[in-house]
């Protein structure tokens, strides 16, 4: 049995975190024994991981401030578990994984995981810049670096990251958990008081500058001014009626009765089933966004910004526009609305088939499992 120690920055509802959770649920437990260490707390996904029967430990480390007690807890957990391979997730988790590899003993291979597209280092927060620079200096040490995006790999290599041991493993999507479901669609739309002809445009993402909710809100205002009967369904951490900054932006644009704020939700598949269009309006940072692939698997056509490998993910099944351009975003959304429900349905079928053929969860799980076996053989 091969022991895999996963070390991740935190466990809130983000793309990398969800990919870890999906990977853990899909791995062959007759061949692999996983364990997870979160540098922070259990977050929103900790209980789900534990429900899989996988041990989870937290270091309760304050953001950006490693402590002696946290490092001692890391050493204790690693030496108790004695992993055969250590897998890092995201920048902070990667550096902790490198330390864990040293603690685990000689010749224990470490794989990094980078789930971020890096367009301009100068725009990152000072602490993040420092971590990225440190990672660049240490990037020749891991036995492999997994990128979920080809664009991200090229960006990091241009910054000086070692490229000899890179692997591109795109995120994979569960076609059984995310699929078209007319009953869920009916129930969700009834709850949103949406008529048959009203178009629901969804964005499921935490409230963060990278996600650029303002871009989508401005595009929505353009649509409404042009007479389209559409509403936005926004969900995610911080996307709620108590977030005054967001509410002020909505009211300032005159969209008070056109935006539904759902907050953080775990029933993502139910939301997807009720949408007509999924819109990802991010300005940067996305590598291979989980939410877009989940929408596609659900048979929902997507309008996305050209960030990371999102254009590769969507292919010709949706529309891709430049980031930070609400006019272009509104134009792409209007094109899908004008196409009508039957054309959108066909686009959704093609999007789902693209996921099943090229980006299935099973293929991603097997790629990680094959990587771990190769690292052990090379050792």
Q: pLDDT per residue over 94-143, tens digit each?
A: 999 999 999 998 889 999 999 999 998 888 889 889 999 999 999 999 99
Q: pLDDT per residue over 159-170, tens digit each?
A: 999 999 999 999
The DSSP 8-state label assigned to residue 172 in this structure reads -
Average pLDDT over residues 334-349: 98
Average pLDDT over residues 15-41: 97
Average pLDDT over residues 173-200: 93
Q: In what order do the strands lie in the sheet with 199-204?
A: 259-263, 230-235, 199-204, 277-280, 302-305, 319-321
What is the pLDDT at residue 229? 94
**How would residue 206 be classed by pLDDT, with cut points 50, 70 and 90?**
very high
* CA separation for the pair 68, 66 (Å, rounded): 7
Percent of residues, the chain, with pLDDT higher than 90: 89
Go through the domains of the chain in sequence order and give each one's CATH number.
Answer: 2-172+360-378 (3.40.50.2000), 182-358 (3.40.50.2000)
What is the pLDDT at residue 118? 92
Residues 216, 329 contacting (CB under 8 angstroms): yes
pTM more than 0.85: yes
* CA separation for the pair 259, 251 (Å, rounded): 10
Q: What is the mean pLDDT of the chain?
A: 95
Bigger pLDDT: 378 vs 347? 347
What is the pLDDT at residue 379? 76
What is the pLDDT at residue 64? 67
Average pLDDT over residues 253-267: 94
Average pLDDT over residues 219-225: 97
What is the pLDDT at residue 67? 79
Residues 351, 336 contacting (CB under 8 angstroms): no
């Amino acid at each position: 049995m091969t022991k895999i120690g996963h070390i991740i920055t935190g466990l809130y509802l983000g793309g990398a975190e969800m990919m870890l959770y999906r990977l853990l649920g899909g791995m062959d437990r007759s061949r692999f024994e996983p364990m997870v260490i979160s540098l922070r707390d259990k977050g929103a996904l900790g209980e789900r991981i534990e429900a899989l029967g996988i041990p989870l430990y937290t270091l309760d480390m304050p953001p950006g401030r490693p402590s002696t007690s946290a490092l001692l807890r890391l050493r204790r957990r690693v030496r108790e578990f004695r992993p055969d391979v250590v897998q890092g997730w995201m920048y902070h988790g990667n550096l902790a994984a490198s330390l864990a590899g040293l603690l685990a003993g000689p010749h224990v291979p470490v794989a990094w995981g980078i789930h971020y597209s890096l367009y301009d280092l100068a725009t990152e927060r000072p602490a993040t810049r420092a971590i990225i620079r440190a990672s660049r200096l240490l990037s020749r040490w891991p036995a492999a670096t997994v990128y979920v995006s080809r664009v991200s790999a090229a960006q990091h290599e241009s910054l000086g990251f070692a490229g000899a041991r890179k692997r591109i493993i795109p995120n994979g999507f569960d076609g059984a958990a995310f699929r078209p479901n007319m009953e869920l669609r009916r129930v969700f739309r009834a709850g949103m008081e949406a008529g048959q002809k009203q178009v629901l445009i969804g964005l499921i993402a935490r409230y963060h500058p990278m996600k650029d909710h303002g871009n989508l809100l401005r595009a929505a205002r353009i649509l409404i001014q042009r007479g389209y009967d559409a509403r936005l369904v926004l969900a995610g951490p911080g996307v709620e009626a108590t977030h005054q900054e967001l509410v002020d932006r909505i009211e300032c644009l005159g969209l008070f009765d056109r935006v539904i704020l759902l907050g953080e939700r775990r029933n993502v598949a139910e939301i997807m089933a009720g949408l007509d269009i999924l819109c990802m309006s991010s300005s940067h940072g996305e590598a291979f966004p989980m939410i877009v692939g989940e929408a596609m698997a659900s048979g929902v056509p997507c309008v996305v910004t050209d960030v990371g490998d999102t254009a590769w993910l969507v292919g010709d099944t949706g529309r891709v526009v430049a980031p930070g351009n609400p006019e272009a975003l509104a134009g792409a959304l209007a094109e899908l609305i004008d196409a009508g429900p039957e054309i959108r349905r066909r686009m959704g079928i093609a999007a789902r088939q693209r996921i099943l053929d090229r980006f299935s969860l099973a293929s991603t799980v097997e790629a990680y499992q094959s990587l771990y076996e190769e690292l052990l053989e090379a050792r």
